[in-house]
């Protein structure tokens, strides 16, 4: 019974870690992009469509496996010792707990989906309608003027031009 509860707690801890895509949002910059001149243009957002963006979650999976193995080994060792097992049997429960914990950490997916938007926009410089998909929520954008920053030759970051309502 104790092992089952421990496994449930371990699963909850290890599967709770997931990539959020926060680092991919249009208004998030890497340290090397700060205090540097970047091309920008005003664009007119014409449409806002919901999108799902696949984000790499392999780092969180590795962390969950490591944490699961450590917690599982600790729980197995404690369970064996508290259960009055011999040192050899306690070593076995420690190893078994570590294996089970790492397996539980493996349940974390390599890829996750985060909320995004596909923005249809018009730029005077380009003269035709383009789209750009951003990590973010629909409420962060509204039709009308927005600033588009180009941090690389083919990268567009249309800055949020609206504020989401605060939930109470």
The per-residue pLDDT for range 33-71, each reduced to its tens digit, is 788 888 889 999 999 999 998 877 666 656 656 666 666
The domain locations on the chain are 21-56+111-158
| pTM given for the model | 0.59
Query: Which tokens sit at 28?
Result: 């998030």
Query: Which tokens sit at 116?
Result: 């995004």
Q: Of 16, 163, 28, 23, whose CA–CA distance to 104 is shortest?
A: 16
The per-residue pLDDT for range 9-36, each reduced to its tens digit, is 444 544 444 556 677 777 777 787 788 8
Q: Of 166, 155, 168, 127, whose CA–CA distance to 40 is shortest?
A: 155
């Amino acid at each position: 019974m104790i092992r089952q509860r421990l496994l449930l707690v371990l699963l909850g801890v290890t599967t709770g870690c997931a990539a959020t895509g926060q680092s991919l949002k249009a208004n998030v910059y890497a340290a090397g992009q700060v205090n540097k001149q970047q091309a920008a243009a005003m664009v007119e957002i014409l449409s806002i469509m919901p999108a799902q963006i696949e984000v790499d979650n392999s780092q969180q999976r590795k962390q969950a496996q490591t944490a699961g193995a450590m917690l599982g080994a600790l729980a197995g060792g404690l369970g064996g010792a508290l259960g009055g097992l011999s040192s050899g049997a306690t070593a076995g429960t420690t190893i078994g707990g570590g294996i089970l914990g790492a397996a539980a950490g493996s349940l974390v997916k390599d890829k996750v989906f985060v909320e995004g938007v596909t923005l249809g926009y018009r730029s005077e410089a380009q003269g035709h309608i383009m789209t750009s998909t951003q990590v973010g929520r629909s409420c962060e954008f509204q039709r009308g003027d927005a600033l588009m920053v180009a941090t690389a030759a083919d990268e567009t970051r249309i800055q949020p031009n609206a504020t989401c309502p605060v939930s109470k």
